């Protein structure tokens, strides 16, 4: 039975053919079991290798054999074997030239990696990539092993360096690679890992308890890589780290107080800066060293400058240096430079801000609103379907006439945005911060809020099956907007309520409870006691508490909700009936059936009178009446 179960669960059955295998009873059991499940090998599960010449069983003759009967044949067919088994041939680490960037490789089967490699556009950082790998492979402390910190100011490429490491050396972690947006909190890591690895954990447990289960499961997988990108400024790192030496953790952060093996990314030197500037059509000599110095060797600023110079071929390095110095004196840029002084190279913040302004000056009037919308949202990728209704009410019927697509192409060409695996745009935090500092439009902000509210409201539409996954990309933007003082409380309450519903559908009960409580607290702060809006969120939170087994608090909230509904609506109103049914259910779970019975009966009577006996609500109420009354 164990053998049959293993064969059923296996992706492939590799049959190593030899006379001994053909005569083996165990061998016959293996291939006949697989053959019965898939007699024509339609699933291509059987992979026969000919180790020693023998009489080939009849059922295997239609299947192409791979001859590995000699060392030379094995070496010749090894790439084919790897490919058919879902892998690829890679060089051993010790065989790679450490003076060069490692080549891009296929990620392990289990991975969550939303960002692409820049490929040949990734300049420099060769020694940094190898140093990161060395740090992660060596034991760093007595308790936590393989923890590496990439730190540095904004625009140095901390995130992109980590992205390149994953795409170039991630195959060294066959247990899986998991990219985590650490700014979203510990819940983000728990949820991303659970979903990617299809882990079935108890949703009633809090994040720390679920994380313990995750580490226990992962410790059996072999080497695993966790990347914590943009780790929070004040959050302690220890609770995020795994206890197993087989799980390696790479952290990117601006902090400098984390006591683990650290790699401080330096700004680009003359040669690296010049290589970046020369990675396009125009080529420059040592005169460009002055430009590298002026911008403090910040890769982000040099990348924007490279595009500017290639779009303005008549502008010399000397002219550009003069213009940057002139623009850096503008008052508007000084505001940004002061606000983000700690995020940029010391003494160069105004000049860096000037490169941002020069790049934005190249943006067409048609494309600028896209950047403005994105600057109001989180730094994570923004779904195009969210931008579309904000800026382009009438969607074009022709793929040849798509103003949003045109805008995205222009902004990417200027290196002001990048695209994720879904071709959704995202922007560097410094560029977003610069736009926020120099632009304000209350009307556009209202449109952004309304669009996010509309998207999040999809969670209440049971027939909208696509919302379950599509809203995952909207959630971080909804959270960021709700932190703004510009958003009205009614919008915030609505979005918090939608976040509660969305997380509940994903089984994230602790997050659902968090946003349900925020919706209720904000309602209580802005409406009179007993208001129907408060009652609605009392009921919503109570039902989540019921799922978590916190029945006493759920009961108390539902009693308050029912009392409010009875004051707000006429007797027999469906809102009252729903509150009666909900409260009755919690009381029944608490064993207080005598109190639950009249509530079930009253709910049933109301639904029967209003909706008829065949309505689903009536049938649910009838079920409880029959069970408890």
pLDDT digits (tens, 9 = 90+) for 268-286: 899 999 999 999 999 999 9
134 shares a domain with 59: no
**CATH for 207:** 3.40.50.300
> Is the per-residue pLDDT at 133 higher than 80?
yes
373 shares a domain with 354: no
Q: Which of 361, 383, 413 is the last residue of a domain?
A: 361
For residue 235, the Cα-to-chain-centroid distance in whole angstroms is: 19
Q: Which of 340, 361, 382 is the last residue of a domain?
A: 361
**CATH for 75:** 3.40.50.10140
Alpha helices in 198-298 (DSSP H): 207-218, 270-277, 289-294
126 shares a domain with 62: no
Q: How far apart are CA 453 and CA 455, in angstroms?
A: 5
356 shares a domain with 322: yes
Is 490 domain-assigned?
no
pLDDT band for position 339 (cuts 50, 70, 90): confident
- Nearest one of 533, 540, 539, 451 to 490, comparing CA atoms: 533
291 shares a domain with 238: no
Count of domains forming the chain: 5
Q: How far apart are CA 30 and CA 34, in angstroms?
A: 6
Q: Which of 404, 438, 472 is the last residue of a domain?
A: 438
Please report the sign of the dihedral spanned by the C-alpha atoms of residue 294, residue 299, residue 301, residue 305. Answer: positive
Distances (CA, A) of 611 to 603, 616, 619, 629: 12, 9, 10, 21
145 shares a domain with 180: yes
Burial 564-583 (b: 16+ CB within 10 A, else e): bbbeebeeeeebbbbbbbbb
Which residues fall within 8 angstroms of residue 209, CB to CB, at 6 or more apart? 202
113 shares a domain with 12: no
> Is the per-residue pLDDT at 36 higher than 60?
no
Percentage of the chain surpassing pLDDT 70?
Answer: 89
User: For residues 273 and 302, is the Cβ–Cβ distance under 8 A?
Assistant: yes
Is 148 domain-assigned?
yes
Q: Give per-residue pLDDT as tens, 546-590.
A: 999 999 999 999 999 999 999 999 999 999 999 999 999 999 999
Q: Give per-residue pLDDT as tens, 189-202.
A: 999 999 999 998 88
Is 529 domain-assigned?
no
374 shares a domain with 349: no
Is 399 domain-assigned?
yes
Q: Give per-residue pLDDT as tens, 463-480.
A: 898 998 999 999 999 999
Q: What domain range includes position 580? A: 547-629
**CATH for 433:** 1.10.10
192 shares a domain with 104: yes
pTM over 0.85: no
> Is the per-residue pLDDT at 124 higher than 90?
no
Is 129 domain-assigned?
yes
Per-residue pLDDT, averaged over 501-510, amounts to 92
pLDDT band for position 143 (cuts 50, 70, 90): very low
18 shares a domain with 115: no
pLDDT band for position 332 (cuts 50, 70, 90): low
Q: How far apart are CA 427 and CA 408, in angstroms?
A: 11
105 shares a domain with 56: no
Is 465 domain-assigned?
no
Is 485 domain-assigned?
no
> Is the per-residue pLDDT at 417 higher than 50?
yes
The token pair that represents 202 in the structure block? 């108890």
Reduce the DSSP state of residue 593 to 3 states and report it: helix
293 shares a domain with 377: no
Is 57 domain-assigned?
yes
């Amino acid at each position: 039975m164990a053998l049959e179960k293993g064969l059923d669960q296996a992706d492939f059955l590799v049959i190593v053919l030899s006379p001994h295998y053909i005569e083996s009873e165990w061998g016959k059991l293996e291939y006949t079991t697989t053959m019965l499940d898939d007699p024509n090998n339609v699933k291509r599960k059987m992979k026969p290798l000919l180790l020693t010449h023998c009489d080939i069983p009849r059922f295997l003759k239609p299947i192409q054999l791979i001859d590995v009967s000699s060392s030379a044949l094995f070496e010749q067919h090894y790439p084919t074997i790897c490919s058919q088994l879902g892998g690829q041939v890679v060089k051993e680490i010790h065989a790679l030239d450490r003076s060069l960037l490692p080549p891009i490789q296929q990620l392990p089967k289990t991975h969550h990696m939303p960002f692409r490699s820049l490929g040949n556009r990734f300049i420099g950082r060769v020694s940094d990539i190898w140093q990161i790998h060395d740090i992660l492979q060596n034991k760093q402390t007595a308790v936590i092993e393989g923890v590496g910190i990439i730190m540095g100011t904004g625009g140095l490429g901390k995130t992109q360096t980590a992205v390149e490491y994953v795409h170039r050396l991630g195959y060294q972690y066959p247990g899986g690679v998991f990219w985590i947006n650490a700014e979203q909190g510990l819940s983000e890591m728990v949820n991303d890992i659970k979903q990617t690895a299809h882990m079935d954990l108890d949703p009633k447990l809090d994040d720390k308890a679920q994380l313990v289960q995750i580490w226990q499961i992962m410790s059996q997988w072999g080497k695993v890589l966790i990347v914590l990108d943009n780790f929070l400024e004040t959050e302690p790192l220890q609770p995020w780290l795994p206890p197993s030496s087989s799980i390696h953790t790479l952290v990117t952060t601006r902090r400098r107080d984390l006591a683990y093996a650290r790699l401080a990314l330096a700004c680009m030197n003359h040669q690296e800066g010049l290589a970046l500037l020369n990675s396009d059509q125009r080529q420059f000599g040592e005169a460009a060293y002055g430009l590298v110095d002026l911008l403090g060797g910040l890769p982000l600023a040099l990348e924007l400058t490279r595009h500017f110079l290639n779009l303005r071929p008549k502008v010399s390095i000397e002219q550009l240096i003069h213009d940057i110095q002139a623009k850096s004196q503008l008052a508007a840029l000084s505001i940004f430079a002061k606000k983000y002084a700690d995020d940029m190279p010391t003494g160069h913040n105004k000049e860096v801000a000037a490169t941002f302004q020069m790049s934005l000056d190249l943006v067409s009037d048609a494309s600028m609103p896209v950047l403005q919308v994105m600057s109001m949202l989180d730094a994570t990728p923004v779904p195009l379907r969210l931008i579309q209704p904000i800026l382009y009410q009438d969607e074009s019927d022709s793929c040849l006439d798509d103003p949003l697509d045109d805008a995205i192409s222009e902004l990417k060409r200027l290196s002001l945005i990048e695209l994720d695996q879904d071709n959704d745009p995202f922007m560097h935090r410094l560029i977003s911060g610069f736009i926020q500092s120099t632009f304000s439009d209350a009307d556009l902000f209202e449109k952004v809020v309304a669009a996010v509210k509309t998207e999040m409201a999809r969670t209440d539409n049971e027939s909208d099956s696509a919302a379950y996954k599509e809203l995952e990309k909207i959630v971080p933007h909804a959270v960021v907007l709700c932190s703004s003082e510009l958003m009205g409380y009614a919008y915030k309450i609505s979005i918090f309520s939608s976040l509660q519903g969305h997380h509940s559908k994903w089984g994230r009960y602790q997050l659902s409870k968090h946003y349900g409580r925020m919706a209720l607290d904000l309602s209580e702060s802005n409406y009179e006691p007993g208001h129907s809006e408060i009652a609605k969120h009392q009921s919503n939170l109570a039902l989540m508490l019921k799922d978590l087994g916190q029945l006493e608090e759920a009961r108390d909230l539902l009693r308050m909700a029912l009392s409010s509904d009875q004051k707000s609506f006429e007797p027999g109103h469906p809102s009252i009936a729903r509150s009666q049914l909900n409260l009755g259910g919690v009381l029944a779970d608490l064993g207080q059936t005598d109190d639950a019975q009249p509530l079930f009966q009253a709910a049933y009577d109301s639904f029967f009178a209003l909706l008829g006996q065949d309505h689903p609500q009536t049938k649910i109420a009838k079920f409880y009446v029959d069970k408890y009354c």
